[in-house]
Amino acid sequence: MKKNKLIIITIFILSISNFANANLSSSLKEYLDGKDLEKASTQIYLLKRCSAIYAYASGIVLKSDAVSSKNFIEISNNLLFKSVELMIIDENKKLEEAQAEAEKNRKELFSNYIADGKKNWDKNKSHFKGSYISEDMAICSKLTEEN
């Protein structure tokens, strides 16, 4: 009986982690296709993912262009703050809870961009070009232009 519970729990955890990683190699465009952009949950995810890509871009250009790196991290933090605001308003979360969740999500998404950026670098010597990462950056740059 205990073995069965352990197996079920293990399968459940693995399926959750696979589901969490399912969006990673797909572009934001693919994620957003068919989604209602008026829904708060879609907007929150978009803001978190854009926050992560700007944090990633900040790290990529840090050594070569400190000013751009600083600008990217400011954009990243502003986007994350907007996601926290939406979580408080639409999901009735407390500030601390929303901040912790948003930071955790950004960290996970950031790690995924790092891993996929490294794979892309190995493939074609670019962190962005030729991958979904460049598509995501294009979408997120349009989002930040509007604000």
pLDDT one-digit tens code per residue, 118-140: 999 999 999 898 899 999 999 99
Residue 86's domain comprises 25-146
pLDDT of residue 78: 97
At residue 5, does pLDDT exceed 60? no
pLDDT of residue 113: 95
In 3-state terms, what secondary structure has residue 46?
A: helix
Whether the CB-CB separation of 102 and 83 falls below 8 Å is answered with yes
Tell me, yes or no, whether 1 lies in a domain.
no
At residue 3, does pLDDT exceed 50? no
Tell me, yes or no, whether 90 lies in a domain.
yes
Q: Say which residues have a Cβ less than 8 Å from residue 73's Cβ, sequence separation at least 6.
A: 54, 55, 58
Tell me, yes or no, whether 20 lies in a domain.
no
Tell me, yes or no, whether 113 lies in a domain.
yes
At residue 17, does pLDDT exceed 60? no
pLDDT tens for 63-92 read 999 999 999 999 999 999 999 999 999 999
Other C-beta atoms closer than 10 Å to the C-beta of 41 total: 13
The DSSP output letter for 35 is: -
User: Looking at the 3D structure of the chain, how many domains does it have?
Assistant: 1
d(CA 84, CA 61): 26
Whether the CB-CB separation of 76 and 52 falls below 8 Å is answered with yes
Tell me, yes or no, whether 133 lies in a domain.
yes
d(CA 137, CA 139): 5
Tell me, yes or no, whether 18 lies in a domain.
no
Q: Say which residues have a Cβ less than 8 Å from residue 23's Cβ, sequence separation at least 6.
A: 31
